[in-house]
Structure formats: structure tokens, C-alpha cells
Amino acid sequence: MESSKRVLISECELFIGKEVVLKGWVKKIRQLGKVGFLLLRDRTGLLQCVLEQEQNQVKIETESVVQVTGILVKTDKTANGVELQVSEILVLAEADLLPFEINKKKLNVGLDHLLNHRVLSLRHEQINAIFTIQSMFVKGFTDFLMQEGFTRIFTPKIVSQGAEGGANVFTFNYFDKSAYLAQSPQFYKQMMVGAGFERVFEIAPVYRAEEHNSSRHLNEYISLDVEIGFIENVEEVMEMEERVLQYVFQYVKEHCQKQLDELQVDIPVWNEIPKMTLAEAQAILKEIYQKDSPEGDLNTEGEKCIGNYVKDKYGSDFVFITNYPRATRPMYTMPNKENPELTDSFDLLYKGSEITSGGQRIHRKGELIASFQEKGLNPNEFKAYIDSFAYAIPPHGGFGIGLERIMMKFLNLGNIREASAFPRDCDRLIP
């Protein structure tokens, strides 16, 4: 039976009474007395395999890869009502001694150890579920935006001009030039709006050379970036983000109920995300929580309190914080018409943690140059970006969502590293 077509565990109920070939990993094996039990795991689920006679003599280590042939029979002893009476078992790849037991419901293993042995730890149902959900989350994001007329773009991560923040970049020699890794696709997504695509999105890594390790920062992460041309105002940008998220969470629920159950998580449901200005949020922090905020921003503690506040007051996991001052927003941010000290910008908090920055951008070249100069930046260092506004770019705005950050909050993970298959922090480059 070596080359018969493999049946997936999720399909087994359709083959009761039939001889089938299954392939997967040995999650557990008990070979006691006359009968042995092998719990087989493939990407679709678990199946009990019954070993008798010589099949019960085969020596197999847990987590080895096997091919089992046998007849599927009905049983009332397993959850899916079926088990395999094994007639042949082949070991396709043997596992060595494992660094920790992976077949427990709850792993009692430190995060570093899990990350060091990532291929093993990712096999645990609760860890595996994170990345299955992540994959569907990104699929939902893609599907929604393309239905809405967005074009998926690919922009360079090797760049030379105009680091947004100026610091926190990884630099390297690019042939005879100096280059760095892009902190965001900000300039390029704006340029692609202006290039006639109007509505664009990108799903790609971004890089921040931040020297501190924290439980909510990575040095390389995936940014879900959206930019929308021909907007009337920044509210349209927030509305689009709200619609994207509604769709994506619903999509995950439809495709990953098993994984959500595994993680004991449900999707957030809301009617309309509440909005408050930064000034209002800071006043709430002062009055209700006796907390001072940094000039023109919220700190981690403040985000957490505001998260609790909107949860109590509006039952919402989300809140838009709007109208950040010009002093704390990037030079391309559109000033507010009524109060030009403020901007048409926003952050989105989810469960008390920032997952998005967004806003309307300046789209006229003269205003853009003036804004760079007001920030003390030399427009010549951003020439390629600024020059593109000479070809006329429509009013536009957008946002970026940190994929690992939103997954961490959604799935109630304690550390953002849990939301990255192979996280990169100041210390970790391996595996």
C-alpha cells in the first residue's frame, strides 16, 4: 500500500468500512498487552489507530512521521466516532528524543524554550491554531480589499531616502551605496495611490531597529498597509478600517471555529467603534484615573486605562483616538482645518493596546514641503517622495495594522513573540 492515495483525518467519516492510507505524526502511543493505541495527528485533526499483533510490536517514538494502512470502523469510544484498525504501519521519519513533551493539553514550558524548538512547539494544537488563524485573517483582509477595488502592491524594503522617523533603522552597504531597511511602506503606498491605482494595500515585513526588548514589540514584523485615494476626510479612512476588521473577524469565525475553540477565544462584535479625541482621552485619564499623559500622546498605561474605560462605558474592545497634535505626528500628516495645531489622524486601540496608526495625508506639494520644513527636516533628503506630488496626487489617507500585534490582542497572547513563527528581537536571530 506504499503509494495509495492518502486520506486526510477530516475525511475519515466518509470512508467507514473502507481500507485507507493515512499519514501524519504520532501524537501518542500506548503499546500495552495485546492491543496498542496510536493517536495520529495530521493537519486536519486526530484519529485513534488500533494496533494488534505484529503492528503492536513496532517500536515508534512519539512525534515520528508514519504512514498507517487499515480499515476505518465505527466506534463510540472516540469523539469523531471512527477509528482505524491498522494492518500496516511504516515509519517515514523517526523523531529523536524530544526536548519537552508536546502532547499535553497545557504546555508548561518557558517561551524561550518553545521558540528555540519552534518546529516542535508549533505542533501543539493551541500554538498551531495561532498561525492557522493568522493565515485566514490575512486571507480575509485580502479578499475584502480586493472586493472593494484595491490593488495589491509590492514595494521595496531596501530604501535609501527619507526614513520616516530618522532613527531606528537597520543600515547596510548596498554595493557602493548606503541603504536601510524600510520602517514602513508609507511613502510608496502614497505614491501608488498617485500612480493611478487610487486604492492600494500591501502585506509585507517592516523593520524597526529599536534597542529595547518588550512583550509587545518585534524588530521585524508584518504590516498590513492600506492607502485610499479620493477621500473626503479622515473619517472615511476610519470607516474603511472598521469595515475591514468587521469582515476579517467574521471571516476568521467562519473558517477557524475549531482553532478559536482551541484557544477559547471568540471574535469581537461591535456596531460602531467609539471615537474620542486625544484631548478627551487625556482628560479622562487625568480625571478618572489620576494619570498624566506624555505631551501629545498616550503611554502604555494610558492606553490600558482607556481600553478599560471604553469596555466599561460602551462595551467596546476598540476605540479610535483622534486629532493628535502636529508635534507628535509625522510630517506628512494632514493638519486639521479648524485647529491647525492638530491633525486629521488617529490611532486604533484594541483591548487597551495600539494596533493601528492612520490618518489623512497632505496631498499638495507646497504644503508638504512646508510641513517638512516646520519639522526641521530637509526636503532634499526626501526628494523622490516629494517630487512625485508634482504629478498631482488626490486627497488620500490610510492606515497600517501590525499583524502580530492584532493577533496577540485578539487571541489574548501574553507576548507578541507567540504571534510570530520565528520572531526577531534584539537577542533572537535563530531559528
Which residues 14-73 are close enough to bind a second copy by CB under 8 A? 23, 25, 41-44, 61, 63-65
The interface region with a second copy, picked from 69-77, 79-87, 134-142, 301-309 by CB under 8 A, is: 134-142
216, 255, 424, 428: the active-site residue: 216
Q: State the cell numbers at 338.
A: 479648524
Residues 237-296 that bind a second copy (CB under 8 A): none
Q: Does residue 112 bind a second copy (CB under 8 A)?
A: no
354 is catalytic: yes
Q: How far apart are CA 340 and CA 329, in angstroms?
A: 13
Question: Does residue 205 interact with a second copy by CB under 8 A?
Answer: yes
Nearest to 141 by CA among 225, 199, 198: 225
| Burial call 227-242: b when 16+ CB within 10 Å, e when fewer | bbbebeebbebbebbb
Candidate segments 45-53, 153-161, 291-299, 370-378, binder of a second copy by CB under 8 A? 153-161
Give the residue with the Cβ less far from a second copy, 44 or 300: 44
Assess whether 54 carries a catalytic annotation.
Answer: no
| Site for a second copy contains 90 (CB under 8 A) | no
Cα separation, 18 vs 9, whole angstroms: 14
Residue 344 beta carbon to a second copy: minimum distance, rounded to whole angstroms:
15
* Identity of the residue, 214 or 230, whose beta carbon is nearer to a second copy in the bound complex: 230
**Residue number, 96 or 312, with CB nearest to a second copy:** 96
Q: Is 232 an annotated catalytic residue?
A: no
- Among 48, 161, 328, 415, interactor with a second copy by CB under 8 A: 161
Instruction: Examine residue 430 and tell whether it contacts a second copy (CB under 8 A).
Output: yes
Give whichever of 255 and 375 is closer to a second copy, judged by the CB atom. 255
* Dist CA 239 CA 274 (whole Å): 11
Q: Which stretch binds a second copy (CB under 8 A): 49-57, 133-141, 245-253, 273-281?
A: 133-141
HEC sequence for the chain: CCCCCECCHHHHHHHCCCEEEEEEEEEEEEEECCEEEEEEEECCEEEEEEEEHHHHCCCCCCCCEEEEEEEEEECCCCCCCEEEEEEEEEEEECCCCCCCCCCCCCCCCCHHHHHHCHHHHCCCHHHHHHHHHHHHHHHHHHHHHHHCCCEECCCCCEECCCCCCCCCCCEEEECCEEEEECCCCHHHHHHHHHHHHCEEEEEEEEECCCCCCCCCCCCEEEEEEEEEECCCCHHHHHHHHHHHHHHHHHHHHHHCHHHHHHCCCCCCCCCCCCEEEHHHHHHHHHHHHCCCCCCCCCCHHHHHHHHHHHHHHHCCCEEEEECCEHHHCCCCECECCCCCCEECEEEEEECCEEEEEEEEECCCHHHHHHHHHHCCCCHHHHHHHHHHHHHCCCCEEEEEEEHHHHHHHHCCCCCHHHHCCCCCCCCCCCC
- Which of 1, 158, 269, 283 binds a second copy (CB under 8 A)? It is 158
Within 390-409, the residues that bind a second copy by CB under 8 A are 390-395, 403
Instruction: Establish if 98 lies at the interface with a second copy (CB under 8 A).
Output: yes
Q: How many CB atoms lie within 10 A of CB 377?
A: 16
**Residue whose CB is less far from a second copy, 55 or 388:** 388
Q: How many residues bind a second copy (CB under 8 A)?
A: 99
Q: Mark the segment that binds a second copy (CB under 8 A) among 11-19, 29-37, 124-132, 272-280.
A: 124-132
Selected catalytic residue, list 316, 357, 371, 388: 357
**CA nearest 69: which of 11, 23, 38?**
23
CB of 112 to a second copy, least distance (A): 14
Question: Exactly one of 87, 128, 246, 415 binds a second copy (CB under 8 A); which one?
Answer: 128
* Interface pick for a second copy out of 144, 385, 399, 410 (rule CB under 8 A): 385
**Which of 11, 198, 210, 381 is flagged as catalytic?**
210
Q: Is 76 in the site for a second copy (CB under 8 A)?
A: no
381 is catalytic: no
Q: Which of 58, 88, 157, 328 binds a second copy (CB under 8 A)?
A: 157
CB of 202 to a second copy, least distance (A): 10
Active-site hit among 118, 217, 424, 428:
217
Q: Give the footprint of a second copy on residues 346-365 (CB under 8 A).
A: 363-365
Residue among 99 and 315 whose Cβ is closer to a second copy: 99
Residue 210 is among the residues annotated as catalytic for this protein: yes
Binding piece for a second copy, criterion CB under 8 A, among 143-151, 259-267, 297-305, 353-361: 143-151
216 in active site: yes
Q: Is the peptide bond before 431 cis (omega within 30 degrees of 0)?
A: yes
Q: Which residues are catalytic?
A: 208, 210, 216-217, 354, 357, 405
